[in-house]
Amino acid sequence: MENFGGDHEGEFRKLISELAEGRDAAAKLQMILNGPLPAHSDHELLLLHNVISSYNKALAMLNYNNPYSESTHPVPPGPAFGTESSSAFTGSPHSEEDSDRGGDGSRKRKAPRWTQKVQACHESGFEGYPDDGYIWRKYGQKDILGTRYPRGYFRCTHRHAQGCLATKQVQRSDEDPNIFNITYCRNHTCNQPQTGGAASHHQLPPQNPAESQLSINPITQVSQQETIHHHENHPLSYHYFDDFPSTTNAATDHHHRYGFQQHYDPNFGWNASSPSGFGLVEGNQRALFAPIYRLTI
């Protein structure tokens, strides 16, 4: 934001801080309204939803133009990018892979990573981590030192067919088993169906924030519920929660459309075998997810 040039860094940060506080407050209110207490009208929820969305968009705009951010494109992806995902695949998978291997053939890479914390708020005992619109295939699971829950390793199901190198790691939070830490690595380069499924309504594809910045869709962004953390070096850390109107129909439709499968693991929760661990909602159960993004490049 050009108005924050010169010596206005403090003002800029203060402005974002105020916006973030407002959004947090609205988010808390939304969580209450979405809680187990008697249902509130859709109109009320929609209004609140719009408030949060406005905060988010303001923050996104400010941050995008933030000259003080140490990250070139610090705004992480939002759940609403699903339908826009294909246009965001601008990265070169080969170059990423090359950089991953550091030129010496090493499997350990330093590809950009970004972490999404997803809170599964459930009323019925069902829990899981949200669909991000992509179909993942689990290729490993490991117990991580110092953590209570194992870490699951997923790769894009089109890895071989289309050479998509996107991977993600899913691990339950020690502090709150309802929170899943999902670390994405590499953007998708495949052409997975994103339209029509529940995913496109709830969760953005796991795009590297550094590359998805320019594809913000303010319309779909309205239906987000997430908390955003900035790059670890970024002075700001803001959150926003947005409604996750996971209707039963949407979830089951997605299930049928993509052959949705999940298995419950007592340690790991819902283990998704296909569309990326979406919190399957059955019957009249309603699930809310609050993703938390943190760029960890």
Partner DNA sequence: GAAATTTGACCCAC
Partner DNA sequence: GTGGGTCAAATTTC
Of 30, 34, 66, 167, the one binding DNA (CB under 7 A) is 167
Give alpha helix (H) positions in the chain. 9-33, 42-64, 85-88, 93-100, 159-162, 199-202, 209-212, 248-258
Of 36, 125, 146, 283, the one binding DNA (CB under 7 A) is 146
CA distance 146 to 134: 30
* 216 touches DNA (CB under 7 A): no
* 142 touches DNA (CB under 7 A): yes
* 116 touches DNA (CB under 7 A): no
Q: Which helix (H) or strand (E) holds 118?
A: strand 113-122
* Beta carbon of residue 290, minimum distance to DNA (angstroms, whole number): 23
* 138 touches DNA (CB under 7 A): yes
Of 2, 38, 43, 108, the one binding DNA (CB under 7 A) is 108
Helix (H), strand (E), coil (C) string for 153-221: EEEECCHHHHCCCCEEEEEECCCCCCEEEEEEECCCCCCCCCCCCCHHHHCCCCCCHHHHHHHCCCCHH
* 157 touches DNA (CB under 7 A): yes
* Beta carbon of residue 66, minimum distance to DNA (angstroms, whole number): 29
In 3D space, the residue among 107, 127, 109 whose CA is nearest the CA of residue 118 turns out to be 127
Nearer to DNA (CB atom), residue 241 or residue 258: 258
Nearer to DNA (CB atom), residue 78 or residue 206: 206
* 18 touches DNA (CB under 7 A): no
CA distance 10 to 121: 36
* 274 touches DNA (CB under 7 A): yes
Question: What is the separation of C-alpha 226 from the centre of its chain, rounded to a whole number of angstroms?
Answer: 7
CB atoms within 10 A of CB 92: 12
* 99 touches DNA (CB under 7 A): no
CA distance 270 to 264: 4
Which of 107-115, 202-210, 215-223, 247-255 is the region at the interface with DNA (rule: CB under 7 A)? 107-115
* 97 touches DNA (CB under 7 A): no
- DSSP 3-state of 270: strand
* Beta carbon of residue 271, minimum distance to DNA (angstroms, whole number): 5
* 271 touches DNA (CB under 7 A): yes
Positions that interact with DNA (CB under 7 A): 102, 104-109, 135-142, 144-146, 151, 153, 155, 157, 167, 169, 185, 259, 261, 263, 265, 271-274
